[in-house]
Amino acid sequence: MTDANYEEERLALDRERLKLEKTRAEMERSFFYKNSGVLLTAAISLAAVLVSATQIWSAYITKAKEIEVNSIQNQAALDLAGKDQELKWKTALLNYVTTNMESIFSKDKEKSSRYLSVMLATFQTKYGYTDDVVQNISTLVHPKEEPIPTNSLAPDVDELIKSFRGPDRLIASNQLIALSQTKPNAVVNALINNVLDADDELSYRVNLYIAFTLSRMESGWKGTEEQRNRLINLRKTRNYLDETFKRRIEEAILNWQHA
């Protein structure tokens, strides 16, 4: 093949390629022309969907923010109301102590205990500070109990522990402390055996004073690891979330000695 023939063949191929490209371009123009209405409608619909989705998402975010703000405002209002109520209780308790200072700190133990018991019965609240105040005052007034003579008519241990359910629980705790100096095993066994597993107000008061009594036993309370574990298991209860309850349980555990 000569150079002239080769050149003619190449030009022929280029012309055919050009024809194909023109045909394809015409077909594409024809497709878009014929379907322009459908394509335009689809494009508009897609745009509308995107706009609607954006609006919905924006509304959702706005609503979520409103809910969050309202929740924060409501919680702040509840906290403020709770603090106001707590302040009123503390003021009332302070007024009671101030008014009855002479009787509360009387050298007459029976008289002092009666006033402290009235405090417990009158000012019991969910805040838990009344027990702390009474216990601290009791420690100041009667820092050390005299041991009960062995030949005296000692109170029944179980009956004293039952008193933890009522307003005389502080008196009962002090008597158990005194009794533990002559009958330590009987007092410890009775206290541990009366630990309540239920998570209610009754278990809170009873278990709180059991722990309080054990924590104040001079030179520690002697018991088995199983007995100590009865107190450790109270960490799993809802009552343990209360700071006063938690502190008393931990003090009792720290005051334990292996029997």
- Residue 257 belongs to what H/E stretch? strand 256-258
Q: How far is CA 3 from CA 11, 14, 15, 156, in A?
A: 12, 17, 19, 131
Contact status, residue 241 vs residue 205, Cβ threshold 8 Å: no
**Cα–Cα distance between 196 and 186 in angstroms, integer?**
18
Report CA torsion sign: 83, 89, 95, 97. negative
**How confident is the model at residue 71, as a pLDDT?**
72
From the number of C-beta atoms within 10 Å of its C-beta (0-12, 13-18, 19+), residue 159 rates as exposed
Query: In a 3-state reduction of DSSP, which class is residue 222?
Result: strand
Look at residue 209 in the predicted model and tell me its pLDDT: 93
Among candidates 201, 212, 54, which has minimal Cα distance to 126?
A: 201
Contact between residue 205 and residue 216 where contact means Cβ atoms under 8 Å apart = no
As a whole number of angstroms, the distance between CA 142 and CA 178 comes to: 12
- Answer yes or no: are the C-beta atoms of 231 and 249 closer than 8 Å: yes
Position 176: which residue type? L
pLDDT value of position 187: 94
User: Which regions in the chain score pLDDT beneath 50?
Assistant: 144-153
Output the pLDDT for position 101: 77
The one-letter amino acid code at 76 reads A
Residue 138 near residue 116, CB atoms below 8 Å: yes
**Short-list 257, 202, 258, 210, CA closest to 233:** 210
0.75 cut: is pTM over it?
Answer: no
